[in-house]
A and B are shown apart, each in its own frame.
Chain A
Amino acid sequence: MKKTNWLLLVLALVLSMFLVACSGGSDDTSNSTDDADSEDTSDTEGEASGDSEQVLNLIDGAEIPTMDASMATDAVAFQWLGSTMDGLYRLGEKGQPEPGIAKDHEVSEDGLTWTFNLREDAVWSNGDPVTANDFVYAWQRAVNPDTGSEYGPYMMGGVIKNAASIAEGETPVEELGVTAADDYTLEVTLEKPVPYFESLTTFGTFLPLNQAFVEEQGDQYALEADTLLSNGPFVMTEWNHGEGWTVEKNEDYWDAENVQLQQINVKVVKDTATGVNLYDTGEIDRVGLSSEFVDQYRTSEEFQINEEPTLFYIKMNQENEILSNVNARKAIQMVIDRQSMVDVILNNGSLPAVGDIPQNFVTHPESGEDFRELNGDLVEYNLEEAQNLWSTAKEELGIEEAELNYLGGDSEVAQNLDAYIKDQLQQLEGLTVNVQSVPFQERLDRDTNMEYELQNSGWGPDYIDPNTFLNMWVTDGGNNKTGYSSEEYDSMIQKANTELAQEPVERFELFLEAEKMLIQDDAVLAPLYQRATAQLWKPYLKGVIVNPMGPDYTYKHAYIEGK
């Protein structure tokens, strides 16, 4: 008996040590801040209820996967990189670039050389000046295949000279078309004239990095708040992985006098109902609503709809015999009642999509008219016409009945939406649609291998230019994966990006034509909806800019008034 008790005691001790180790691990993850910082945080949180306190409390549905600008790929990472760092330019009102580290720039006549003049008063949060070399180092790091960056080659390939061949390991990284003429002059050489390059520099992958600091941190760079540097409006002071993070005003920021928020606290909350409860108790200042909450809060003064330039559509694999028929594809475009879909199924402010370019995304360089308004509705709901087109397609194909697999998502919203689309498509006589609900990663995999017939797919812009949506569909485009190939379409996109690169009006008009061809004539896609998000937003939170790409929000100019 005594022996047994000893053994039990030992086992109990092992378990307790394990538990202590576990809680120790938890503490370790929060050690990114010293004690003083923690005290500051709680103090400020306590005072946040005061009228003049410039403290913003937010939630995010996911934790930050990385704060390394070269490695970032998702919205959360880009949001907080964008808040703590300044690139050459940053996104301002209506998605227009405003000066960041660059004061201004000149473009050579051939459009290939961009010279950025950098401000001399910008510093990193460790006191080092922000120089042109910080951009050279960061951009080279992003395209270097050894870094394993997913976005570096994607964003820079075909844009900055040699980026693509460097990414493939064929050219030394030093030959990337970016050089520091001096500490405050950055010269960028492009592969071809890129009219949207200024907009592109606001994107997270193009942020600068302090070479000495990054190399000093090695593998630990950007893993914790204290292994990060900031040169932007805010600096990350606390990062408790899985739980949340805090950014505070960067007093050393070159434009600190125009930053009013003192602190932003973010907690990771995945459940919408929990977020709404936190909002209702005043713990947080903004919350996104899923469709089931929209009706409940629609009449509230704090209810807001934020339109996004993200588009969802049905991709149709033209290697499939039925879908190789243009009339069949047109019938599919026409048989879907998009208005009912966004009103009933999505119920979050999303808009019916009627082309490949979202509305309120790009405007005509001269007239300022919206692309969408100029090109109008390229698809419409017309059941009768859809049936006629479908009959023609069946005749041309020599079939009476058809069966198509439809690849959709596995979330509840996606499944509801896909069930609706199946129902709509099956209005075409003799058509049977089999919905396959698979996880997102699997959908991407099947898309890459073109193992689908119909697929619910979406795309958000990487820069503010029609090219980000239209360039995808050129022959053998990396994300085309529909089997669509048109010499005429390819040459239009090619022309827009070469010959007309410096002719904004003609270029824009060519894009209008290209979109018509893509959607109306060739019916490559069946547009579904343009995403919007319904939110509750405290009225005292002002000055937040909602961005069409990159970071979802700009907080640099935000402030709290009348809380």
Chain B
Amino acid sequence: MTLAEVRRGERFNIKYIPDDLVRVQALRFGISEGAVLSCHEKVPGGPVIIKRNLQEIAVGRNLASNIIIEKEN
């Protein structure tokens, strides 16, 4: 599934980020393929806000729909 489909409060694992530049920028913020994150908030139709510890990152909806994730239980 994609990051755009995740629901608020769910924990997930990033599998794949498509764009090179985005991947590099995400790495600097603390999001890497394999990282376990949680969905902090979803703005309706807008960005998905993900969280790792206290770090929050807003990911535009379009970008989110290109990021492949796997739900963690």
Q: Do A and B bind each other?
A: no
Interface residues of B (CB under 8 A from A): none
